[in-house]
Amino acid sequence: MSKQSQNPFKWRHFEADIILLCVRWYLRYALSYRDLEEMMLERGLSVDHTTIYRWVLHYAPEIEKRWRPYLNATTDSWKVDETYIKVKKVWLYLYRAVDSEGSTLEFLLSPTRDAEAAKHFFCKALHVTASSSPQACPVEEQVSQPTALVDPNITTLTPRVINVDKNAAYPKAIADLKAAGALPEHVELRQVKYLNNLIEQDHRFIQPFPSG
């Protein structure tokens, strides 16, 4: 296969740097597509907001897939929380885990907020797939989202402590994972609300997923 055919920006009217800049700014900051259209115009580029929308849909999954192998936990203290967001006009629960420095470790979209959803999320965060640990993670219907399953060959630092809110589903999920051998017995679960202020505050900057 030629290098040209492998170029993900082939046939694009704009340079790759411009496309990636718009996609990165949309994903990182609380900007709308029209905000980015205006910002590009101020820089001498006329880009319609619908074009930027298509760039995000096309390139965001590829960006996520390429940087994920380099995403590693920097501390052994996890902060886990869930919030309710709209994805393509459907309300879903977004589970997220960050380390004590605020770096995102993993996320999962789920139609439910219960122990099974929590177990599914923890398995994903721990890089345990449903096929390799069926007892810990029963196969659930996958929610369409712009992310690929984590490569099970990539290792993540096992948490020393997992901080969560008062959601009753978390203790059951952790107990089931320990019983199945998917999580070491020494991992401590803390249900202290103020310890999760970091991730709860960070939820304010989450962008809604674009609709098709």
The whole-number pLDDT of residue 71 equals 63
Long-range contact list for 103-108, CB < 8 A, 24+ apart? Answer: 103/71, 103/73, 103/74, 104/71, 105/71, 105/73, 105/78, 105/156, 106/150, 107/147, 108/143, 108/145
Report residue 100 as tokens.
Answer: 């004590």
Give the mean pLDDT of 181-209. Answer: 72
State yes or no: pLDDT of 177 exceeds 70.
yes
The whole-number pLDDT of residue 64 equals 79
Q: pTM score, two decimals?
A: 0.60
pLDDT confidence bin for 40, thresholds 50/70/90? very high
pLDDT confidence bin for 28, thresholds 50/70/90? confident
- Note the pLDDT tens digit of each residue in 80-135: 988 888 877 889 999 988 888 777 788 889 999 999 999 999 998 887 333 333 33
Please name which of 191, 174, 192 lies closest in space to residue 183, comparing C-alpha atoms. Answer: 174
Other CB atoms within a 10 A radius of the CB of residue 100 amount to 16
State yes or no: pLDDT of 142 exceeds 50.
no
